[in-house]
Amino acid sequence: MTTPDLFCQITRGDLDAAVVTRTDEFIAFLDHRPVFPGHVLIAPLVHVETMLDLPDELKAPLLTLAQRVARALAEVTGCQGTFVAMNNVISQSVLHLHLHVVPRTKGDGLRGFFWPRTTYAEGEAEELAGQLAAAVVT
């Protein structure tokens, strides 16, 4: 890819995002159009387009971070569980690998793969990202 994608801009700090946490390999930030408040995206700091391109040494750290984020979501939002998903080429809105960690509660209305989207009120994303950042266990 010759031009930087949206997530490369976020990883470099060229584009603002409500960052939840950052490791040596990944950045986790709130989706700007969440399925539910607290919807986190985890993306590698290096440009990786699809799951098939993910280097072996990043596979375990990706799932470890997803676990940490899921625990933080339960603590901060009170969700009962999470939906963890990754689109691979088809329906991949940004050609930079990213894992969705979406808070879920029984009866929340999410059905199948239809993902209704919402938006955050002014300042709400930053506040929630701060709470999640404090709750992500290193």
**Closest-CA residue to 30 (of 118, 106, 137):** 118
Q: What angle do CA 9, 12, 16 make, to 5 degrees?
A: 60
Q: Which of 35-49, 69-83, 105-119 has the lowest mean pLDDT?
A: 105-119
Q: Quote the percentage of the chain above a pLDDT of 90.
A: 72
Q: What mean pLDDT value characterizes the chain?
A: 91
pLDDT of 82 over the 80 cut: yes
- Scored b (16 or more CB within 10 A) or e, 11-44 reads beeeeebbbbbebebbbbbbbeebbbbbbbbbbb
The pLDDT of residue 117 is 73
Decide if 1 is inside a domain: no
Q: Where do the H-state alpha helices sit in the chain?
A: 6-12, 56-77, 124-135
What are the Cα distances from residue 122, in Å, to 21, 93, 99? Answer: 21, 24, 25
Decide if 85 is inside a domain: yes
CATH number reported for the structural domain that contains residue 75 in this entry: 3.30.428.10
What are the Cα distances from residue 93, in Å, to 56, 89, 117? Answer: 24, 8, 14
- Which residues span the domain enclosing 98? 6-135
Decide if 105 is inside a domain: yes
The number of domains in the chain is 1
Does the annotation count 39 as an active-site position? no
DSSP 29-67: EE-SS-SSTT-EEEEESS---SGGG--HHHHHHHHHHHH
pTM to 2 decimal places: 0.84
Decide if 25 is inside a domain: yes
Active-site residue identified among 39, 96, 98, 100? 98
How far apart CA 103 and CA 90 sit, in angstroms, is 23
pLDDT tens-digit series, residues 104-135: 999 998 876 666 778 889 999 999 988 888 88
Confidence tier at 16 by pLDDT (50, 70, 90): very high
Q: Of 69-73, 89-93, 105-109, 121-125, where does the model show the most confidence?
A: 69-73
Decide if 23 is inside a domain: yes
